[in-house]
Structure 1
Amino acid sequence: MIETKKIGNYRYRILALLMFATTINYFDRSIIGVLAPTLQKLFGWTNSDYAGIIIWFQVAYAIGMLIMGGVIDRLGTKKGYTLAIGTWSIFGMLHAVVPASFSILGFSVARFGLGLGESGNFPAAQKTVAEWFPKKDRAFATGLYNAATSVGAILAPFVVGWIVHENGKNWQIPFLITGALSAIWVFLWFKIYKKPEVHPKLSKEELEYIVSDSEIENEEKLPWKMVLFKRQTWAFALAKTTDAVWWFYLFWGAKFLSLNFDVDVKNIGLPFFVIYILADFGSIFGGYISGYFIKKGWSINKARKLTLLSCALIILPVAFVAITENKWLAIFLIGLGAAGHQAWSCNIFTLASDVFPKKAVASVTGIGGMSGAVAGIVTSFALGKALDSAGKEGFFWAFLIAGSCYLIILGFVHLLMPKMTPLDENLKLKSE
């Protein structure tokens, strides 16, 4: 804290805006998961119908990740982030005007647009972190804004439970709330954000600290195909397939608790609060611990990968969720898995800025997000079919995979990127 006071802390204002945007992002995308049992009864959806609606979001998210990462790298963080949040806010509010007679089609279109817009959040946020924080602090900064995903996911069940009746009355209102929040964010973003090199309110000392472990890059744009064919890109993309697990908790968690423990829209708030508070702790601590190891003299490779290994081991017990008969034990195990995932996630995000130059970070993050979305599409489709054919027993395999996949994926990431040697501004290996 003493060091921060000497050099200034304006970068944390920027981080606060990333947290605010990510909170809005996850509040918006979480609403349908909380409302899933209610909407299924209201509109007569099958599990496969619901899975299809979710898949349209994930398809758009996958497409958007490929597009938005490159767009943000070219437009810059300020304009690119505004484009993303404006898009997702419009389509988020469109959910509220979908007529019952066209509910599946209407929700599918709204989810598709929402996915396109929301795909820009993490490429823009991670590029901002790369611009505003030195490498040794990026995992912690990422952990803080990534923790806002849980804030949004916590707010959703409480807001929905407060506003929406058990019979579904007022289900539209939560979808409209995000529009006002987004307008506030855009105003603040345009007022506050500039690159650190040209920001008039940033002290010389803080700028020196921000660039203390980075090299000055040229302004030449990198062709997208140069990023695409790097094995480091695909190591990151493979690690991001675990996003499917997080989306499983987000979109199917309320459904699981409803089927197994009769948790409805009016009492889903506390279980989600427990799950996502644990997830917040994991995000912040996971980001802190790898940075702590780096400051103690560990290599970035060792610090990141041992942290990721610890996360994978913490997540393992979630494999047993579907066979427990105790509601709160099941909730705790899901929360433990969510905590481990968020710790894993903030370190995985940081891998992109550890290895790639700043001007490629959004593109790489987008490619990784695309792989996570594709994995989510496959799991949503399979789970919807399994639940329709086998009932709640379909959750057994879902939780088994959710608990065990991280260790396997980490092994492949290490094979693809054994030393995490940074790439220069032309994507050539630097000497260690």
Structure 2
Amino acid sequence: MKTEATLASSGAISAATTRRSRARFAILALLAIGTVINYLDRTVLGIAAPTLSKDLGLSAGVMGIVFSAFSWTYTLSQIPAGLMLDRLGARKTYFLAVASWSAFIILNGLSGGLVSLMIYRLGLGVAESPCFSANSRVVGHWFPQRERARATSIYQVGQYVGLAVFSPLLFWIIEAFGWRAMFVIVGAVGLAFALVWWLRYHEPHESRTMNDAERDYIGAGGGLAQAADAQRPFSWRDVRSLLGRREIWGAAIGQFAGNSTVVFFLTWFPTYLVTERHMAWLKIGFFAILPFLGASVGVLFGGWLSDRLLRSTGRINLARKLPIISGLLLSSSIIAAIYVKSDVAVIAVLSLAFFGQGMGGLGWSIIPDIAPKRLMGLTGGIFNFTANIAGIVTPIVIGAIVALTGSFYWGLMFIGAVAVLGAASYIFILGDIKRIELPEADGAGKIA
């Protein structure tokens, strides 16, 4: 007869040898789909602009203001969105965000003129503001440290693949049904996804699909959220404490640099190809996809490399910083586009630079490693606020340069210099990647 010790030992061996479930990858799929929808929704106005501006009687200058409206409210809403995330948790916050931004997209299709269109664009910026902080929080809870860079790269690739893959479909919808129908269709898809998120997402401690082997694996790697971690009372002292940490500023300045490259490709890239390179529209339609594909490969490669380095060396600083710094330095190669002559060469340079940006855009993988456990939302909000100032600054700076000089020469120089600044920020400002420890708050929201 087996003794109790023997039975216990057998049970432990059985648990240790149980194949881990893969519930975390189903959650990652939700994040990836949400990110595709997020980026499509914030950029569909650019696809609709030629016909929309004509129907509503909006000049190119006015459309520039409409384009910028999203970034103003998106940036200003980052910290409040982070506080909302810490208060409500990822499930409720993400659901409310997707549902509300999808409603604003539908309203875009009902715009009757400049005023209503501006209101809906400003609302869209507010509604989308919690998305990336929520993504970071979910990855921090659902994935062990050794898998976070790759998980981050997988959901982030959605922002590039979505634009490259679905833009032709959106152009077809406009051609067949008009720009108003496109906004309504895209918004309806978002509302459907919000319902899927509400039904399918749950925190790790609530999961019924995760077995003990996966739970132990994630917990041993620094993941898993406890029910008590969902909230921390707001305190301005927390904000001041986070703003006083070099880790926050180092990561945020680096992300600002990477975002500047993204913003160039989302705003001035087509104009650059037309006015500076004198490419035909048909050629632009083909060539414009290639840099986004390059960025897709870059972000996946960077995530794979980062986690591979962590597993092989155990050095978190090397594993997280090396791919990002290398990517930002590679992004600075955009300056070479000034000096090449052929269309193929310039697209190759720009694709290489955007590949580098994909690698350098993995700053979000650092946030789960440095954010206080119960302030991931606030930390992500501060980080994203600083980083997304690029969406306001970069288009204005490049526009002013082009207006003053009639050339993109100094505009590309600006993008290249900012990329080098971002690399320097990760090297000299960020410091060691380790979790920031802040004093705990008491029940009244005061710091104990």
Q: TM-score, normalised by structure 2?
A: 0.85
Tell me which residue corresponds to 2:179.
171
With 140-149 and 278-287 compared, the bigger mean Cα shift is at 278-287
Q: 1:412 is aligned with what amino acid?
A: S
Alignment of 1:293-312 (within 5 A): 293-312=309-328
- Displacement, 1:328? 3.1
Question: Would you say 1:364 and 2:374 are equivalent positions?
Answer: no
- Displacement, 1:354? 1.3
Unpaired runs of at least 5, structure 2: 1-15, 441-448
Distance 1:170 1:4 in 2: 57
Question: Moved runs in structure 1, 4+ residues, more than 6 A?
Answer: none
Question: Which residue, 310, 320, 342 being the options, matches 1:326?
Answer: 342
**Structure 2 vs 1, CA of residues 269 and 70 (structure 1 numbering), >3 Å: closer, same or farther?**
farther
Give yes or no for contact 1:317–1:333 (8 Å, CA) kept in 2.
yes
Q: 1:221 is aligned with what amino acid?
A: R
Give yes or no for contact 1:133–1:210 (8 Å, CA) kept in 2.
yes
Distance 2:55 2:192 in 1: 33
Alignment of 1:23-422 (within 5 A): 23-36=36-49, 48-99=61-112, 102-103=113-114, 105-165=115-175, 170-214=178-222, 219=229, 221=232, 223=235, 224-225=238-239, 226-242=241-257, 243-259=259-275, 260-264=277-281, 268-346=284-362, 348-391=363-406, 393=407, 395-422=408-435
Q: 1:134 is aligned with what amino acid?
A: P
Q: Deviations over 1:73-128 (max 9, x none)?
A: 110000000111122111122222223xx33x333222211111122110111111
Q: 1:341 is aligned with what amino acid?
A: Q
Kindly name which structure, 1 or 2, has the bigger radius of gyration based on alpha carbons: 2
Higher relative contact order at CA 8 Å, sep ≥6: structure 1 or structure 2?
Answer: 1
Distance 2:380 2:17 in 1: 28
Tell me which residue corresponds to 1:430.
none
Aligned residues: 417
Give yes or no for contact 2:18–2:213 (8 Å, CA) kept in 1.
no
Give yes or no for contact 2:246–2:431 (8 Å, CA) kept in 1.
no
**Structure 2 vs 1, CA of residues 336 and 236 (structure 1 numbering), >3 Å: closer, same or farther?**
same
- Displacement, 1:257? 2.7
Percent of aligned pairs with the same amino acid: 26
Give yes or no for contact 2:103–2:191 (8 Å, CA) kept in 1.
no
Secondary structure at 1:313 match in 2: helix
- Displacement, 1:312? 2.1
Q: 1:297 is aligned with what amino acid?
A: T
Give yes or no for contact 2:335–2:413 (8 Å, CA) kept in 1.
yes
Cα root mean square deviation, aligned: 2.7
- Displacement, 1:411? 1.6
With 278-287 and 212-221 compared, the bigger mean Cα shift is at 212-221
Q: Deviations over 1:190-247 (max 9, x none)?
A: 2211111121111111111111121777536163424333332222221221213212
Distance 1:28 1:4 in 2: 45
Unpaired runs of at least 5, structure 1: 428-432
**Structure 2 vs 1, CA of residues 388 and 173 (structure 1 numbering), >3 Å: closer, same or farther?**
farther
- Displacement, 1:22? 0.3
Q: TM-score, normalised by structure 1?
A: 0.88
Q: Deviations over 1:291-323 (max 9, x none)?
A: 100100241112222212211232122123355
Distance 1:399 1:267 in 2: 21
Q: 2:315 is aligned with what amino acid?
A: S
